[in-house]
Homo-oligomer: A and B are copies of this chain.
């Protein structure tokens, strides 16, 4: 009988990214690990799912306490494949990441890392997304691993409410001051395209942009915490219903 927790790991940068490899190494002492991650980059895939082409997964390696698979699917597809086809029991924890680049504020909406995290939550697994504010392939994940592992242990011990998952972002500095529990900053991206042209002179548009923290009126928002040298931790909900607006919207339909 194996009493070690079972941890499912995935990401959106692909199975060969440094972030998922370092995350895997640092979680080996916490539980038995199954990695099922995309076979290449899937950044910005949000909660996209694949229904137009068939999905596959293949074994990459198998060691004591660690099995690694890769798939042609999205991050969410990877979670679905792991749960439906690969694992013989529900994992005790899902960790998605470590993402190369931040997923604070509205980025939670576009991120494949956070899409996979939400998917774990939807199927009832306590789930954490972990991101480092550094896009470089050779980023230093030391602090991020330390804080992510601490959080993984806490979630394994305490659990999470039904329908709630966690979004951890870590600033790209050597000595992070600690973890601050935050709300999602209210902001958006502006100036979103770099205009260029293709070989025949037609205009083409590359997605880029600048994040604008539009109204930082709440001092507990995640963007400000990161700017101050703290890791930000936002508890996120699957249920997006705006309960505060229900009554007024109902009044639109009174006879």
Contact = CB atoms under 8 A, between A and B. Distances in A.
Interface stretch (A20-28, A92-100, A202-210): A202-210
Interface stretch (A29-37, A61-69, A76-84, A138-146): A76-84
Given A238-B106, A240-B108, A252-B154, A246 B80 contact: no
Interface residues of A, number: 75
Interface string A40-81: 010111111111101110000000000000000000110011
Interface of A: 41, 43-52, 54-56, 76-77, 80-81, 84-85, 106, 108-110, 115, 118, 122-124, 154, 158, 160-161, 163-164, 166, 178-181, 183-184, 186, 188, 191-193, 195-196, 198, 202-208, 233-246, 249-250, 252-253
A85 B205 CA distance: 9
Contact of A206 (B48, B54, B161, B234): B54
Contact of A51 (B43, B85, B234, B239): B43
A161 B245 contact: yes
Given A54-B196, A81-B205, A180-B253, 20 more contacts: A46-B46, A51-B207, A55-B193, A55-B206, A56-B203, A56-B205, A80-B207, A81-B193, A84-B193, A85-B195, A106-B122, A161-B244, A161-B245, A181-B253, A183-B243, A183-B246, A235-B241, A235-B246, A236-B241, A237-B241
A246 B180 CA distance: 11
B51 A49 contact: no
26 contacts: A41-B52, A43-B51, A46-B46, A51-B207, A51-B208, A55-B207, A56-B202, A84-B191, A84-B193, A85-B195, A109-B122, A123-B188, A124-B188, A158-B252, A161-B245, A181-B249, A181-B250, A181-B252, A184-B239, A186-B239, A235-B245, A235-B246, A237-B240, A237-B241, A237-B242, A240-B240
A235 B239 contact: no
A179 B181 CA distance: 39
Contacts of A252: 154, 158, 181
Given A46-B47, A207-B55, A235-B249, A192 B241 contact: no
A225 to B, nearest CB: 12
A172 to B, nearest CB: 20
